């Protein structure tokens, strides 16, 4: 027989940003507990609202299955003497299990035949196990800091007030977090502030909805909010911008969602839209509305947790709250515009970038020099790059950024525009931070790309230079993200620059005495950054050995590395790839055993066997074919052309003794193999594609 199981933990309001994660972790913990207990079950469903975490399990077995338990004893050879009489080892094992030696079984194991005691273990009743399963799951929730309340010793993320545990129609006899399990939940704090008896797990969702005024299904409540918010926006001929993160947070704040539309004065639209949106979203959890052209409209949508009889009063209350915040943003914007970004640079001398690396002003000076050099190398406008670098951190000392930290860079754009700076300089103010995360957009302008590169490279060299590289999960300066940003910029923007050269330029921008690792910092930072490529390719479904084959070349131009990785990846998909990789590995092993460098010149007159003559001719032909391709960096086409060597190479190894007794003959064959390997090594070390044996 099977029954449905329900557990609900009632609490004070849970942290909204963590609610979804807590809900899922609670369900995962319950499911893992059921698996560990070897209990059969059907679907596991998670629920959560601001005041509760719940899990429902369908078709949960009423007990564990009975099972045989096999306990191994001594080896049969040690259990009996030569006359077949039981030894002390056998008697001791039997006595320890309460049986005679004759009642022991003999079983075959990977360590030979052994005595065994086989017993029947009766399955435990599920109800007896559920309390521990729930307790363990709650104990393992990802809660950074637990709290106590009152005089209790129990700890949780918030004080707990009730516990529902039902197995079928019966209350489970268990205690969790100091609460005795029952069958009473509680409805909405305002609409149904009373206890509700839950008859069974099947009744839970519906009883909370009616009469409880609680939509307990997180996903359902989330979709209700999305639909309501969009409907409200449609009523004012706009479109709601529904950010998933904000939607999750709002879903975690309400149990009975009711979307309402408020408005603000049009004069506030003169303020940068990002500042208004930040005020509405971060402080008030409002959704903003845009017109068909994507322009901000003077409306906001709030999601109330009550179904008010006077919705107008609720709306007016929200309008009164948001008005002073928008007024502050407008005041900051107008005040900031009175001082140019250029004039603000002096204040950057008071902001420390890093104690050993100087101020933010010092950083902008380094960026100006580095950006100008990068611009010259790629044929960009060095003057624009230098100007953008000088101004790129000035908005850090504006009132707008002080109040709205997430407007860093965006505020700089508006102020640069106000100051009459060139458009590319203004755009570089926010493009310097792109990409902010994996998958984020890259800068659209060349100047923005240059500043984004220079900023990250300067930080990487500086922090590595003072001996503080990332370790484990600790990465306070986000150097992993900075490295991936540089690689994406160089590869996806098709910027062919030597990373070693850029790192050297950045190092030389610092005073020599500032960098304790001055002599090693370039190679240390380069190795770290190139290694970040590996994860990038693995995410793209490219095997690690493909990247390793290219990285063996010790290259430092990311665009070139990417070109080769893509080429080797394509080559690895060919039918001939595995055999040629194995041949390369064989050649590599042969050449590695030589005392000195391998011979390089092949004397055609010394070629004796048909197979080696055929290989020599094939190499000559392949060399003529791939050299022009390699010069144009068409590595994929070059490797594809080399695939035709497979049969000839196989025939050579099948029919020719490389390490011949005759030294001249041996050296000639080694030179032939060296030429073969060089054809592939021009792109990558293909031998690393061969499977390990």
pLDDT tier for residue 117 given thresholds of 50, 70 and 90: confident
29 and 152 part of one domain: yes
Listed residue (414, 401, 444, 392) closest to 273, CA to CA:
414
114 and 137 part of one domain: no
The answer to whether residue 345 sits within a structural domain is: no
Question: Looking at the chain, how many residues does it have?
Answer: 693
* C-alpha–C-alpha distance, residues 248 and 424, integer Å: 36
Residue found under tokens 């390997």: 677
Q: What is the mean pLDDT of residues 1-18?
A: 95
Q: What is the mean pLDDT of residues 471-495?
A: 93
519 and 392 part of one domain: yes
Instruction: Return the HEC string of 6-39.
Output: EEEEEECCCCCCCHHHHHHHHHHHHHHHHHHCCC
Residue-wise pLDDT tens digits, 171-230? 999 999 999 999 999 999 999 999 999 999 999 999 999 999 999 999 999 999 999 999
Residue-wise pLDDT tens digits, 245-261? 999 999 999 999 999 99
Domain that holds residue 625: 562-689
428 and 569 part of one domain: no
Report whether pLDDT(693) > 70. no
Mapped onto helix, strand or coil, the DSSP state of residue 46 is: strand
| E strand or H helix at 398 | none
Contact (Cβ atoms closer than 8 angstroms) between residue 359 and residue 350: yes
Mean pLDDT score of the chain, rounded to an integer? 93
Q: What is the mean pLDDT of residues 494-500?
A: 97
- Out of 121, 137, 161, a domain closes at 121
Strands 184-186 and 179-180: unpaired
pLDDT at 692: 65
425 and 505 part of one domain: yes
* C-alpha–C-alpha distance, residues 117 and 346, integer Å: 84
Residue-wise pLDDT tens digits, 398-416? 999 999 999 999 999 999 9
Taking the alpha carbons at both ends of the chain, their separation in whole angstroms is 52
Report whether pLDDT(529) > 90. yes
Helices (H), 392-520: 399-403, 410-418, 423-431, 446-465, 479-492, 499-508
Half-sphere exposure of 103 (CA within 13 A, CB side): 12
Q: What is the mean pLDDT of residues 55-73?
A: 89
Contact (Cβ atoms closer than 8 angstroms) between residue 492 and residue 541: no
Count of domains in the chain?
5
- Out of 150, 175, 209, a domain closes at 209
Among 202-206, 454-458, 459-463, 609-613, the least confident range: 609-613
pLDDT tier for residue 81 given thresholds of 50, 70 and 90: confident
Mapped onto helix, strand or coil, the DSSP state of residue 183 is: coil
**Percent helix / strand / coil, the chain, rounded to 5:** 55, 15, 30
The answer to whether residue 550 sits within a structural domain is: no
Mapped onto helix, strand or coil, the DSSP state of residue 185 is: strand
Under DSSP, the state recorded for 543 is -
* C-alpha–C-alpha distance, residues 22 and 9, integer Å: 12
310 and 430 part of one domain: no
Residue-wise pLDDT tens digits, 296-313? 999 999 999 999 999 999
pLDDT tier for residue 103 given thresholds of 50, 70 and 90: confident
pLDDT at 330: 95
268 and 139 part of one domain: no
Q: Which residues contact 209 (CB under 8 A, 6 or more apart)?
A: 215, 216
Mapped onto helix, strand or coil, the DSSP state of residue 253 is: coil
Q: Which residues contact 262 (CB under 8 A, 6 or more apart)?
A: 286, 299, 300, 301, 302, 315, 316, 318, 319, 322
pLDDT at 194: 94
Contact (Cβ atoms closer than 8 angstroms) between residue 630 and residue 682: yes
258 and 174 part of one domain: no
Residue-wise pLDDT tens digits, 260-273? 999 999 999 999 99
Helices (H), 552-609: 558-572, 577-592
The answer to whether residue 385 sits within a structural domain is: yes
Residue-wise pLDDT tens digits, 133-149? 999 999 999 999 999 99
Query: For residue 38, what are the CA distances in angstroms to 33, 44, 201?
Result: 9, 15, 22
155 and 25 part of one domain: yes
Structure tokens at 163: 């516990």
Q: Which residues contact 293 (CB under 8 A, 6 or more apart)?
A: none
43 and 131 part of one domain: yes
Among 365-369, 459-463, 539-543, the least confident range: 539-543
The answer to whether residue 373 sits within a structural domain is: yes
The answer to whether residue 341 sits within a structural domain is: no
Q: Which residues contact 519 (CB under 8 A, 6 or more apart)?
A: none
Core vs surface per residue 176-191: b (16+ CB within 10 A) or e: bbebebbbebbbbbee
The answer to whether residue 593 sits within a structural domain is: yes
Identify which has the larger pLDDT, 54 or 597. Answer: 54
Name the E strands within 173-269.
Answer: 175-176, 179-180, 184-186, 195-197, 239-240, 258-263
Under DSSP, the state recorded for 495 is -
pLDDT at 251: 98
Mapped onto helix, strand or coil, the DSSP state of residue 161 is: strand
134 and 89 part of one domain: no
273 and 183 part of one domain: no
- Out of 483, 512, 541, a domain closes at 541
CATH code assigned at 496: 1.10.3210
pLDDT at 401: 95
Report whether pLDDT(442) > 80. yes
* C-alpha–C-alpha distance, residues 328 and 407, integer Å: 14
* C-alpha–C-alpha distance, residues 693 and 687, integer Å: 13
Would you tell me how many other CB atoms lie within 10 Å of the CB of residue 144? 7
The answer to whether residue 135 sits within a structural domain is: yes
Dmax (CA) for the chain in angstroms is 107
Contact (Cβ atoms closer than 8 angstroms) between residue 460 and residue 483: yes
* C-alpha–C-alpha distance, residues 547 and 562, integer Å: 9
Half-sphere exposure of 319 (CA within 13 A, CB side): 14
pLDDT cut 70: percent of the chain above it? 100
- Partner residues linked to 55 by β-bridges: 7, 46
Sheet containing strand 160-167, edge to edge, reads 44-49, 52-61, 2-11, 160-167, 170-171
The answer to whether residue 555 sits within a structural domain is: no
* C-alpha–C-alpha distance, residues 683 and 394, integer Å: 45
Q: What is the mean pLDDT of residues 508-526?
A: 93
pLDDT at 262: 96
Half-sphere exposure of 156 (CA within 13 A, CB side): 27
Q: What is the mean pLDDT of residues 107-122?
A: 83
CATH code assigned at 197: 3.30.70.260
pLDDT tier for residue 99 given thresholds of 50, 70 and 90: confident
The angle that helices 558-572 and 544-551 make with each other, rounded to 10 degrees, is 130
pLDDT at 77: 81
Mapped onto helix, strand or coil, the DSSP state of residue 138 is: helix
């Amino acid at each position: 027989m099977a029954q449905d199981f329900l557990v609900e933990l009632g609490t004070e309001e849970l942290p909204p940003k963590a609610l979804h994660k807590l809900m899922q972790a609670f369900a995962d913990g319950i499911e893992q507990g059921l698996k560990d207990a070897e209990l059969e079950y059907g679907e596991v469903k998670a629920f959560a609202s601001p005041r509760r975490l719940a899990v429902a399990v369908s078709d949960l077995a009423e007990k564990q299955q009975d099972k045989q338990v096999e306990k191994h004893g001594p080896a049969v050879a040690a259990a009996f003497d030569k006359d077949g009489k039981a030894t002390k080892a056998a008697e001791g094992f039997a006595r320890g299990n309460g049986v005679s030696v004759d009642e022991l079984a003999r079983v075959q194991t990977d360590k030979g035949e052994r005595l065994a005691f086989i017993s029947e273990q009766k399955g435990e009743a599920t109800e007896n196990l559920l309390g521990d399963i729930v307790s363990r799951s709650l104990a393992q929730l990802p809660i950074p800091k637990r709290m106590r309340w009152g005089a209790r010793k129990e700890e949780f993320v918030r004080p707990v007030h009730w516990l529902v545990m039902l197995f079928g129609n019966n209350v489970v006899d268990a205690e969790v977090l100091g609460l005795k399990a029952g069958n009473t939940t509680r409805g909405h704090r305002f609409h149904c502030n009373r206890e509700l008896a839950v008859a069974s797990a099947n009744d839970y969702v519906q009883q909370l909805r009616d009469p409880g005024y609680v939509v307990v299904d997180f996903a359902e409540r989330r979709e209700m909010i999305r639909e309501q918010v969009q409907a409200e926006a449609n009523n004012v001929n706009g479109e709601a911008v529904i950010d998933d993160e904000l939607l999750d947070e709002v879903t975690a704040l309400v149990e009975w969602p009711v979307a309402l539309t408020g408005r603000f004065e049009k004069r506030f639209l003169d303020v940068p839209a990002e500042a208004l949106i930040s005020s509405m979203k971060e402080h008030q959890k409002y959704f903003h509305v845009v017109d068909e052209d994507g322009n901000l409209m003077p409306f906001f949508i709030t999601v109330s947790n009550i179904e008010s009889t006077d919705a107008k009063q609720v709306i007016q209350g929200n309008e009164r709250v948001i008005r002073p915040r928008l007024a502050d943003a407008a005041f900051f914007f107008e005040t900031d515009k009175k001082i140019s970004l250029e004039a603000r640079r002096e204040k950057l001398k008071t902001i420390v970038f890093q104690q050993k690396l100087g101020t933010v002003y010092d950083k902008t000076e380094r960026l100006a020099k580095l950006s100008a050099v990068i611009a010259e190398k790629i044929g960009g406008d060095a003057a624009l790059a230098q100007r953008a670098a000088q101004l790129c951190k000035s908005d850090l000392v504006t009132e707008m950024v002080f109040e709205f930290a997430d407007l860093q860079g965006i505020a700089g754009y508006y102020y640069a525009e106000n100051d009459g700076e060139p458009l590319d300089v203004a755009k570089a103010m926010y493009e310097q931070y792109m990409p902010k995360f994996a998958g984020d957009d890259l800068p659209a302008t060349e100047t923005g790309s240059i500043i984004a590169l220079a900023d990250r490279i300067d930080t990487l060299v500086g922090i590595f230079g003072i001996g503080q590289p990332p370790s484990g999960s600790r990465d306070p300066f986000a150097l992993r993200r900075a490295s991936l940003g540089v690689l994406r910029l160089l590869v996806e923007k098709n910027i062919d620059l030597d990373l070693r050269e850029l790192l050297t330029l950045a190092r030389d921008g610092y005073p020599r005495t500032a960098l304790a690792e001055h002599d090693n910092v370039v190679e240390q930072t380069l190795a770290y950054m190139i290694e970040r490529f590996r994860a990038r390719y693995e995410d793209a479904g490219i095997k690690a050995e493909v990247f390793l084959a290219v990285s063996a070349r010790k290259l430092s131009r990311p665009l070139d590395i990417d070109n080769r990785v893509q080429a080797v990846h394509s080559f690895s998909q060919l039918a001939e790839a595995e055999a040629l990789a194995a041949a390369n590995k064989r050649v590599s092993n042969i050449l590695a055993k030589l005392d000195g460098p391998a011979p390089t010149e092949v004397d055609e007159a010394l070629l004796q066997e048909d197979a080696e003559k055929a290989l020599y001719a094939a190499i000559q032909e392949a060399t003529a074919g791939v050299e022009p391709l390699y010069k144009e960096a068409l590595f994929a086409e070059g490797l594809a052309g080399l695939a035709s060597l497979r049969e000839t190479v196989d025939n050579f190894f099948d029919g020719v003794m490389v390490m011949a007794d005759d030294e001249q003959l041996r050296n000639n064959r080694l030179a032939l193999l060296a030429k073969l390997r060089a054809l592939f090594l021009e792109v990558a070390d293909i031998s690393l594609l061969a499977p390990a044996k």
